[in-house]
């Protein structure tokens, strides 16, 4: 039995979807514990492309149970669309495969409108939000006025809470953001329709998970976004609104930290970021362009081109510490094939100072000049490699150097988009 957390070590989009899909074969339950439909996992299975925003990608494997736990903020419209699309493609034929926490908070159209309206009036320093209402929904949770899944199931309670919320939100929307407000009854009816479709999945997911652990089953906790987007430890304020680090897998799913056996960090072989904020190793030259094109670096949720740059060991070391990583999976190594030389950032220079830790201040982070080490590239196609020894020597050396710099073992290496295009040195679910 093993309980494993998978966490992103950079700014999200590290390729967690593929790693989770791969490990899901060895798990009984896969849990999504934070974020919402701002996330987007793209995976390619049997030549077919799937994009998930809310449902754990483990749903593609029959007999796996997938949980959307209390730490997630749920847009019912997106969730229903995902359920319908999966059913149409022959998946999720058994409804007991999907479980939705009764404690999860619900996203409403006013959350999205506030997200976008606020971004529009922000003077400079736009966050680059995906506009999915994630921040405003977490705000309501912290302000204790949010509406939860359990409220939807009780029509009268839901009606009262929605009325109270609308009084407040409509004032803010119309008077502060100069947007339109919402009418109570149509919104109430729309969400009662969602309730009809979703209630069969709603349960006490914390209780379900503790029973699964007692029964000796394997659980995989899938993080969304990445460590540098964490609301406490990321590049604040250019972050998302939830805690994205491994510790939140416990709080966000209602299990205790003593239950966790392994934390796997997912790290892209280079770095990308979508949205605004500091990114010390960003490349605005033809190499950055080549990484974007070869790596297909366009946001799964918004389609925005991702900013691309060299591997940053300062960032990943930060993530190793914050997540307590037991090991890492390196993804998209194949995207680097063909480069003559590859750079790796080992530290930053800020004025006269050399710094080895990611600064707390985003104002300082934008002034960080990366200090690079240059490694030899390789030209050989690597997608067929299934053992480290089958990789070109220069690729092996690149991985060895990353291991040295982040002081953490590399357990998995992804050399292509497909499930089988992977080198697995150690499977954390088979310990």
Chain residues binding ligand IMP by CB under 6 A are 12-13, 38-40, 127-130, 132, 134-135, 224-225, 229, 238, 240-241, 274-276
Which residue in this structure is represented by tokens 């749903």? 59
10 or 101, CB closer to ligand IMP? 10
275 or 370, CB closer to ligand IMP? 275
SS3 state at 329: strand
Nearest distance, CB of residue 134 and ligand IMP, angstroms: 4
Beta strands in 269-312 (DSSP E): 271-273, 307-309, 311-312
Classify residue 239 by burial, with Cβ atoms within 10 Å: 0-12, 13-18, 19+.
Answer: buried
Nearest distance, CB of residue 390 and ligand IMP, angstroms: 31
Describe the crossing of helices 155-171 and 184-198 by its angle, rounded to 10 degrees.
Answer: 130
59 or 274, CB closer to ligand IMP? 274
Are 20 and 234 in contact, with CB atoms under 8 Å apart? no
135 or 278, CB closer to ligand IMP? 135
40 or 247, CB closer to ligand IMP? 40
Residue 179 CB neighbours (<10 A): 18
Residue 94 among the catalytic residues = no
> How far is it, in rounded angstroms, from Cα 63 to Cα 388?
32
Nearest distance, CB of residue 38 and ligand IMP, angstroms: 4
Nearest distance, CB of residue 374 and ligand IMP, angstroms: 28
Which one is catalytic: 13, 75, 115, 140? 13
Q: Of 357, 352, 332, whose CA–CA distance to 342 is shortest? A: 332
> How far is it, in rounded angstroms, from Cα 58 to Cα 320?
25
> How far is it, in rounded angstroms, from Cα 142 to Cα 81?
28
Nearest distance, CB of residue 21 and ligand IMP, angstroms: 16
Residue 347 structure tokens: 């530290």
Nearest distance, CB of residue 318 and ligand IMP, angstroms: 17
Describe the crossing of helices 109-121 and 155-171 by its angle, rounded to 10 degrees.
Answer: 20
3 or 248, CB closer to ligand IMP? 248
> How far is it, in rounded angstroms, from Cα 153 to Cα 144?
18
Residue 363 structure tokens: 């104002």
The whole-angstrom distance between residue 132's C-alpha and the CA centroid of its chain comes to 14
Which one is catalytic: 28, 41, 75, 312? 41
Element (H, E) at 99: strand 98-101
Residue 13 among the catalytic residues = yes
Chain residue at closest Cβ approach to ligand IMP = 275
Q: State the catalytic residues.
A: 13, 41
């Amino acid at each position: 039995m093993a309980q494993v957390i998978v966490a992103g070590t950079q700014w999200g989009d590290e390729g967690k979807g593929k790693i989770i899909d791969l490990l899901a074969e060895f798990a009984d339950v896969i849990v999504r514990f934070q974020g919402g439909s701002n996330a987007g996992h793209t995976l390619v299975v049997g030549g077919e492309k799937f994009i998930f925003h809310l449902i754990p990608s483990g749903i593609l494997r029959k007999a796996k149970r997938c949980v959307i736990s209390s730490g997630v903020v749920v847009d019912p419209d997106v969730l229903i669309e995902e359920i319908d699309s999966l059913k149409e493609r022959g998946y999720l034929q058994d409804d007991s495969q999907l479980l939705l926490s009764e404690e999860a908070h619900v996203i409403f159209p006013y959350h999205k409108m506030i997200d976008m309206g606020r971004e529009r009036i922000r003077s400079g320093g736009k966050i680059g939000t995906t506009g999915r209402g994630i921040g405003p929904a977490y705000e309501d949770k912290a302000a204790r006025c949010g509406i939860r899944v359990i409220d939807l199931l009780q029509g009268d309670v839901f009606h009262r809470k929605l009325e109270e919320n609308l009084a407040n939100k409509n004032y803010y929307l119309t008077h502060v953001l100069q947007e339109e407000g919402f009418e109570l009854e149509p919104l109430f009816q729309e969400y009662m329709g969602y309730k009809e479709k979703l209630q069969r999945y709603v349960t006490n997911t914390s209780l379900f998970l503790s029973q699964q652990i007692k029964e000796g089953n394997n659980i995989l906790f899938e993080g969304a976004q990445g460590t540098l987007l964490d609301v406490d430890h990321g590049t604040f304020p250019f972050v998302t609104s939830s805690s994205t680090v491994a510790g939140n897998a416990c709080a966000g799913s209602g299990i205790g930290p003593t239950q966790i056996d392994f934390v796997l960090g997912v790290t892209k072989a280079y770095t990308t970021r979508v949205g605004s904020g500091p990114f010390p190793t960003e490349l605005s030259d033809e190499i950055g362009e080549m990484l974007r094109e070869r790596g297909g670096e366009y946001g799964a949720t918004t389609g925005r081109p991702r900013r691309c740059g060299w591997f940053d060991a300062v960032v990943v070391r930060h993530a190793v510490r914050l997540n307590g990583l037991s090991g890492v999976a390196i993804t998209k190594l194949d995207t680097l094939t063909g480069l003559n030389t590859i750079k790796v950032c080992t530290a930053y220079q800020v004025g006269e100072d050399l710094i080895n830790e990611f600064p707390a201040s985003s104002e300082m982070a934008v002034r960080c000049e990366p200090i690079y080490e240059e490694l030899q590239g390789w030209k050989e196609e690597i997608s067929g490699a299934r053992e480290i020894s089958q990789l070109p020597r220069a690729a092996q050396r690149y991985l060895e150097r990353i291991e040295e710099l982040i002081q953490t073992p590399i357990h998995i290496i992804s050399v292509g988009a497909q499930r089988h295009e992977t080198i697995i040195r150690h499977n954390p679910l088979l310990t």
